[in-house]
């Protein structure tokens, strides 16, 4: 029971921290009109601008990896056709808006994906202690992709595919 309270308190603290850090960052509100995969989707803003969004701090399974479809379906169920808020951190080299995404008034899409074992905390780009705690908990409880002892993170999977294509 104490672990649940600790995770709950960490979630509230992290949410407040994310919201306070995003004050100086760009916030965009819009309707989700397409789901590309577990960590990428398209958003239509009020002024009819279509933007591509990449979830910050996590990485979901790639198209041919186990749990790809489940991650994509989770995102679709959570946000498709809904109005969401993007707390934009930056634009990446593909001109996607790398963002923390808030839906249903207070839920973090990145947190929910990691909590449900459908994404990895992308430690190379993130020091988010709550995401790490959520991943550790999902891994310990063998939730989602953590049912596989040898789950390969997407960044390693992409590197392996690049190496194989060069051979």
User: What pLDDT, on the 0 to 100 scale, is given for residue 5?
Assistant: 44
User: What pLDDT, on the 0 to 100 scale, is given for residue 57?
Assistant: 97
Catalytic residue among 26, 62, 63, 115: 62
Comparing C-alpha atoms, which of 22, 17, 23 is closest to residue 129? 17
Q: How many residues does the structure list for the chain? A: 167
Comparing C-alpha atoms, which of 111, 121, 109 is closest to residue 151? 121
User: What pLDDT, on the 0 to 100 scale, is given for residue 161?
Assistant: 84
Catalytic residue among 54, 112, 115, 135: 54
pTM: 0.84
The tens place of each residue's pLDDT in the chain, 167 residues long, gives 555 444 444 444 444 444 434 334 679 999 999 999 999 999 999 999 999 999 999 999 999 999 999 999 999 999 999 999 999 999 999 999 999 999 999 999 999 999 999 999 999 989 999 999 999 999 999 999 999 989 999 999 999 888 877 87
Residue found by looking up tokens 């074992």 in the block? 117
Domains of the chain as residue ranges with CATH: 17-162 (2.40.50.90)
User: What pLDDT, on the 0 to 100 scale, is given for residue 167?
Assistant: 75
What's the CA gap between 74 and 116, in Å, rounded?
A: 9
Catalytic residue among 26, 95, 96, 135: 96
User: What pLDDT, on the 0 to 100 scale, is given for residue 166?
Assistant: 80
* CA atoms within 13 A of residue 12's CA, in its CB half-sphere: 5
Q: Is 96 marked active-site? A: yes
What's the CA gap between 39 and 46, in Å, rounded?
A: 22
- Map residue 150 onto helix, strand or coil: coil
Q: Is 62 marked active-site? A: yes
User: What pLDDT, on the 0 to 100 scale, is given for residue 1?
Assistant: 53
């Amino acid at each position: 029971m104490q672990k649940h309270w600790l995770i709950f308190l960490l979630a509230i603290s992290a949410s407040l921290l994310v919201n306070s850090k995003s004050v100086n960052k760009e916030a965009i509100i819009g309707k989700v009109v397409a789901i590309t995969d577990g960590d990428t989707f398209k958003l239509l803003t009020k002024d009819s601008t279509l933007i591509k969004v990449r979830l910050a701090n996590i990485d979901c399974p790639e198209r041919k990896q186990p749990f790809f479809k489940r991650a994509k379906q989770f995102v679709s169920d959570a946000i498709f056709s809904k109005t969401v808020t993007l707390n934009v951190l930056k634009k990446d080299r593909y001109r996607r808006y790398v963002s923390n995404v808030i839906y249903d008034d207070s839920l973090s899409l990145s947190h929910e994906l990691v909590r449900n074992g459908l994404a990895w905390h992308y430690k190379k780009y993130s020091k988010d202690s709550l995401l790490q705690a959520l991943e550790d908990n999902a891994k310990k409880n063998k939730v989602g992709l953590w049912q596989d002892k040898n789950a390969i993170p997407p960044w390693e999977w992409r590197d392996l595919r690049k190496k194989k294509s060069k051979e």
